[in-house]
Amino acid sequence: MQTFILYMPNKENNSNKINIRDIAEKTGLSISTVSRVLNNKAKEYRIGKKSQEKIRKVARELNYVPNQFAANLKSGKSNTIALIVPSLNNPFFAEISSRINTEIRKHGYITIIGESDENPEIEKKELRQLVSRNIEGLIIVPCGNQWEHIDEIHNQGIPVVCIDRYFIDLDIPFVSTDNYKGAYMAAKYFIENGHHNIVCIQGVQESNTNKLRIEGFKEAMKESGINDFNIIGDNFTFQNGYLSTQLLLKQKNRPTAIFALSNTIAMGCMKAIKEAKLDIPENISLITFDDHPYLDFLATPLSCVVQPVEDISKVAVELLYTKLYDEEQNTSKILLKPTIKIRNSVKRLMD
């Protein structure tokens, strides 16, 4: 029985992806040489000028795109950084993500952004996913108080940087705003303007940023001899701001000022205040945490504590890179100074 061997017509068109071998064949050089040239290791390995040019030319002509998966498998380098934030739908985290994303690309790396949706279980799942992609670094806004899975990454020798929220006891570097100071400044500002009856509407109590803000708030109160302040609420949501404020407004002894620990909370406050036919700052004063362009255009432009978002992002990436390159056991814990932006939502009381 005779056997016919079938030749695949134009085999190289079989898969249109050009690889290093195709270039080697076209140039008559070896794949080693091609690899070295294309990785800019030509001088290191003393590849001749003409060979270099030939290789680069052919690579360009064939529109060669290296296969990162193969490269990573061999080299162990994934050129990938993971970023996990609670949600991109929150402008604060969206801005951070955007800045970190572009910053990281400058270094030739790529970012994979995961969202935890404030759910520790999702956070863990994301992290597993990302680890399987051999991430070389992790920047994370942890949600919740669970740190084991994050510490594990850290212990595997993968550089980790926490931003915004952090674990003070762990030796994982972080960069955040001095939340204590920010809240302190806001409270002081109220007091300087003659307010004594001040209420703070907080977010998630377990969150360490929330805790610190509360502490800063309390400290300012105590320093000024005000012992009769109030802290209510339990969530960084619109609902919480809305309901908490409704309750406040019904009180016999209505506060003269509200300190909302987030924009979402502040929006809830505004709605309740508006519905009660009251005015900011005439009837009640308001300061919020975090700035946003729209605050300028509100019925009453809102004064706020502003976090140095740009610096946080920059420093986070820098921190990551010193760990990545220098291998130094850098466990910097950095708190950046907030500022307070005065608009028009606090009334000056003179009694």
Partner DNA sequence: ATAATTTGCGCAAACGTTTGCATAATTCAA
Partner DNA sequence: TTGAATTATGCAAACGTTTGCGCAAATTAT
User: To the nearest whole angstrom, how small is the minimum distance from the Cβ of residue 131 to DNA?
Assistant: 11
CA 321 to chain centre: 16
For a second copy, give the closer residue by CB, 212 or 261: 261
Partner touching 296 among a second copy, DNA, none, CB below 5 to 8 Å by kind:
a second copy
Q: Which is nearer to DNA, 59 or 304 (CB)?
A: 59
Terminal-residue alpha carbon distance, the chain:
112
294 binds, among DNA, a second copy, none (CB under 5 to 8 A by kind): a second copy
C-alpha distances in angstroms, 323 versus 14, 73, 173, 336?
Answer: 43, 22, 10, 20
Which of residues 242 and 321 has its CB atom nearest to a second copy in the complex? 242
Degrees (nearest 5) of the Cα angle 160, 166, 171? 55
Q: Rounded to whole angstroms, what are the CA distances from 73 to 70, 97, 134?
A: 5, 28, 9
Rounded CA separation 174/332 (Å): 7
CA-based angle 48:51:52, to the nearest 5? Answer: 85
Contacts of 227 (CB under 8 A, 6+ apart): 221
Task: Give dist(CA 37, CA 128) in Å, integer.
Answer: 35
| Cβ proximity of 287 and 305 under 8 Å | yes
**Shortest Å, Cβ 351 to a second copy:** 29
Closest listed residue to residue 288, CA positions, set 206, 186, 143: 186
Closest C-alpha among 130, 79, 136, 137 to residue 108: 79
Return the one option of DNA, a second copy, none that residue 94 interacts with (CB less than 5 to 8 A, by type).
a second copy
Q: Give the shortest CB-50-to-a second copy separation in angstroms.
A: 26
Min CB(75)–DNA separation in Å: 4
Residue number with CB closer to DNA (75 or 332): 75
Q: Minimum distance between the CB of residue 329 and a second copy, rounded to whole angstroms?
A: 17
Q: Is 75 helix (H, G, I), strand (E, B) or coil?
A: helix
Return the one option of DNA, a second copy, none that residue 290 interacts with (CB less than 5 to 8 A, by type). none
Contacts of 141 (CB under 8 A, 6+ apart): 84, 85, 86, 93, 96, 162, 163, 164, 165
Between β-strands 303-306 and 339-341, what pairing exists: parallel, antiparallel or unpaired?
antiparallel
Give the residue with the Cβ less far from a second copy, 122 or 232: 122
When the beta carbons of 2 and 14 are compared against DNA, the nearer one is 14
CB of 108 to a second copy, least distance (A): 9
Q: Which amino acid, 42?
A: A
Shortest CB 279 distance to a second copy, Å: 12
Nearer Cβ to a second copy, position 72 or 339?
A: 72
For residue 339, the partner it binds in DNA, a second copy, none, with Cβ less than 5 to 8 A by kind, is none
**Where on the chain is the footprint of DNA (CB under 7 A)?**
15, 17, 19-21, 28-33, 35-36, 38-39, 41, 45-51, 64, 66-67, 70-71, 73-75
- Closest approach of a second copy to the CB of residue 104, in Å: 11
* Residues at the interface with a second copy (CB under 8 A): 16, 65-70, 72-73, 78, 87-89, 91, 94-95, 97-98, 101-102, 105, 110-115, 117, 128-129, 131-134, 156-157, 238, 267, 270-271, 274, 292-294, 296-299
Partner whose binding site includes residue 267, from DNA, a second copy, none (CB under 5 to 8 Å by kind) = a second copy
